[in-house]
């Protein structure tokens, strides 16, 4: 098995905007259910949601700027590390993600093996 990272981008709902509406709670529950399913199958290796705020350090002079740094639709909202036999299987696993209900994207990237 290889490790892959899912980078969650965009989507109309973000944990920072969470409210107590029935729809928001149901959406959050779908994420919980999906991730629990991955865990029960031994696929899930880790991950977290990310806050929108942050800082960015750039260049040789190490200039620090406050974020967010890009449009909300391209912002990384969170990530998971999963185990899959290859990138094709990882892509298929990503298709179950609830973020697609909210017009979001999942970027699937292989994790570089360390020697």
| Residue 50: CATH number of its domain | 3.30.70.1060
Residue 62 predicted with pLDDT over 80 = yes
Whether 115 is in a domain gets the answer no
Q: What is the mean pLDDT of the chain?
A: 88
- Looking at the structure of the chain, the number of domains it has is 1
pLDDT digits (tens, 9 = 90+) for 10-58: 876 555 555 678 888 898 899 999 999 999 999 999 999 888 788 888 8
pLDDT: which is higher, 73 or 9: 9
pTM of the model: 0.83
Q: Which two tokens stand for residue 31?
A: 């994420």
Q: Which domain holds residue 47?
A: 2-110
Give the pairing type, strands 104-110 and 55-58: unpaired
CA–CA separation, 102 and 53 (whole Å): 21
Residue 73 is predicted with a pLDDT of 63
Whether 40 is in a domain gets the answer yes
Any idea which of 4-8, 42-46, 48-52, 79-83 has the lowest mean pLDDT?
Answer: 48-52
pLDDT digits (tens, 9 = 90+) for 96-115: 999 999 889 999 999 998 87
Residue 47, C-beta contacts closer than 8 angstroms, at least 6 positions apart: 6, 35, 78, 79, 80, 81
CA–CA separation, 72 and 70 (whole Å): 6
109 neighbors 41 (Cβ within 8 angstroms) = no
Classify residue 41 as exposed, middle or buried by CB count within 10 Å of its CB (0-12, 13-18, 19+): exposed
């Amino acid at each position: 098995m290889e490790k892959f990272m899912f980078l969650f981008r965009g989507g109309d709902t973000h944990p920072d905007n969470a409210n107590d509406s029935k729809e928001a709670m149901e959406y959050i529950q779908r994420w919980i259910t999906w991730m629990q399913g991955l865990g029960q199958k031994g696929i899930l290796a880790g991950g977290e949601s990310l806050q929108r705020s942050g800082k960015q350090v750039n260049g040789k002079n190490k200039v620090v700027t406050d974020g967010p740094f890009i449009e909300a639709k391209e912002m990384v909202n969170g990530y998971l590390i999963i185990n899959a036999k290859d990138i094709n299987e990882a892509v298929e696993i990503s298709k179950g993600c609830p973020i697609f209900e909210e017009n979001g994207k999942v970027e699937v990237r292989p994790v570089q093996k360390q020697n």
